[in-house]
Chains A and B, each alone.
Chain A
Amino acid sequence: MSLTTLPVNSATSGLGRISQLLRVPTSWVRGAAGFAVLFAAAEVFTRAELVTPSYLPRASSILAETANLVTTGSFWSATQATMKAWLLGMLVATAIAVPLGMLLGLNTLAHTAANMVIELFRPIPSVALIPIGILQFGRGIDLKIALIAYACLWPILFNTIHGVHAVDSIRVDSAKVFGLSRRQRITGVYLPSSAPFIFTGLKIASSVALILAVSVEIVAGGREGLGILLEGARQLGELKLSYAVIIMLGVIGVVLQAVFEFVERRAFGWTKFSGGDS
């Protein structure tokens, strides 16, 4: 057997040739092939009608429904409503969590005290607060923003504290030697040094925020949103629409993650660590 026919050399396999022709990595072609196989298997399975087609429509008809969905105005206004809550909730959470995280990261006594409060609040599942939240905020966007902000507070807060603790003490000491005030040290040293950690917190929070937005819409109802579209599809028994909305939510989630990862590479590519934790 000559070396070029070894299966290890992917360039000689069918997919390898495609990847060479398209000038893309083999893993991309394989990923696309994975989706194609999944779709073909789903199509065969759904055509066999082992499950009633009203429950499990043909894979191709679900894709057609998804393509149709993205041309409707109701889908885009629902997406807008959900994503507006996502954005505002994230902003509120960031505005609270970053300064608070700086304070708690820099002050050990405050940190020790706050830890106890945090350990009391963090285990409460945010969705359990929806029935109480309705009383305070009604069933509209305010409720979504409040719950998203509450749930996103934790990952951003922990990563900010973590980032402050990870700041190189030589940088801080140098800043002190050069006579920077405490405020200048925070904006000039602590904030930029912990930015990659804060960003990791934001990335985790972005998927938490999407989960909360859809959860609140499903539980509390309201006028507009993707969760409300899903509840409507359930009540009308239009399962094809349910599948289509779920697929589009996956697309939105993937796009959000991709955007965050792109910004992360661009802005913080210089850091060795892409650290942080939830």
Chain B
Amino acid sequence: MSEPTFGNLAWIRIAVLSGLFAVWGLASSAVDKVHFPGPITVMKVVWSDWIMDASATWSDALAPSLFRLILGFALASLGALGLGVAIGRSRTLGDYTEPIIHFVRAIPPPALLPLFIVLFGIGDLQKIVLISIGVFPPILLNTIDGVRSVDPLLLDTAASFRVSRARRIYQVVIPAAAPKIFAGLRIAIAIAVILMVISELVAATNGLGFRIVRSSRQFKYVDVWAGIVVLGVLGSVLNGILGAVERRVLGWNSL
């Protein structure tokens, strides 16, 4: 199907966005304004409470949340990458371990939260462990898949040129598997944000999710909506960063 292009794309963008805000505003004035405030009310709170009060936003919500998210994500990525290369290179090891991995992946990660609260308390440790375990299976399975899809000709060529085993892994296997690995990381970042938020909603003393649930308990629903907007922006930014890294790393592989 041919895709006609629109020269006036910017106009469509502006029209769509203003249409969306108009619908939001009309909907909120049609229903209950306390539970469902309009866009201007919400954006005012985003401006006054989140942007103007940047130091509190950072120390109270963003810094603790990002710390948990990034550490949990990074630990799982490193572990899953190493294990994934090992399993992907050995069919036998794959046969032994893959059913276990598929079983662990099938467990909805938030189900671990009540248990982890008992085991690890309500602090950073519990949240980091939860995020790591939740994002581990998708990264691992994609790495295995990517490593298996490496062209054997590349490996044979490298082997016949007597390239060492370690260099073959770093310079042949991982680059060739990278597109699949990035696909896994993309799935993982969405899961990581969900687990960060849910663990902060249920039990925490700071973080973005905690701020939302605190506002909700104080019946400040405008603040809850503002928190959701901020989370949406954070999600977009994280996706954008991952996309930029991906383009940089996979620039050679212009798909």
Contacts and interface: CB of A to CB of B under 8 A. Distances in A.
A237 B96 CA distance: 34
B194 A131 contact: no
A214 interface: yes
B138 to A, nearest CB: 10
B96 A30 contact: yes
Interface residues of B, number: 60
A7 B124 CA distance: 47
Contacts of A55: 118-119
Contacts of A193: none
Interface of A is mostly: helix
Interface stretch (B70-78, B98-106, B150-158, B165-173): B98-106
A112 interface: yes
Contacts of A226: 111
A48 interface: no
B110 A211 contact: yes
A140 interface: no
Contact of A219 (B97, B201, B227): B201
Contacts of A37: 96
A227 B111 contact: yes
Interface string B221-246: 10011011001111110010000000
B158 to A, nearest CB: 22
A126 B209 CA distance: 12
A210 B194 CA distance: 14
Chain A CB count within 10 A is highest, among B95, B114, B228, for: B114
Interface stretch (A68-76, A180-188, A239-247): A239-247
A34 B104 contact: no
B13 A234 contact: no
A119 B20 CA distance: 13
Contact of A253 (B4, B107, B227): B107
B78 to A, nearest CB: 22
A165 B99 CA distance: 35
B48 interface: no
A31 B232 contact: no
Interface string A212-233: 0111001100000011001101
B16 interface: yes
B12 interface: yes
Contact of B114 (A136, A165, A207, A233): A233
Nearest to B99: A31
B95 A219 contact: no
Interface of B: 1, 3-4, 6, 9, 12-13, 15-17, 20, 35, 92, 95-100, 102-115, 117-119, 187, 190, 193-194, 197-198, 201-202, 209, 212-213, 216, 221, 224-225, 227-228, 231-236, 239
13 contacts: A31-B98, A116-B16, A123-B234, A123-B239, A130-B201, A131-B212, A134-B216, A135-B221, A211-B109, A215-B194, A219-B201, A237-B118, A250-B106
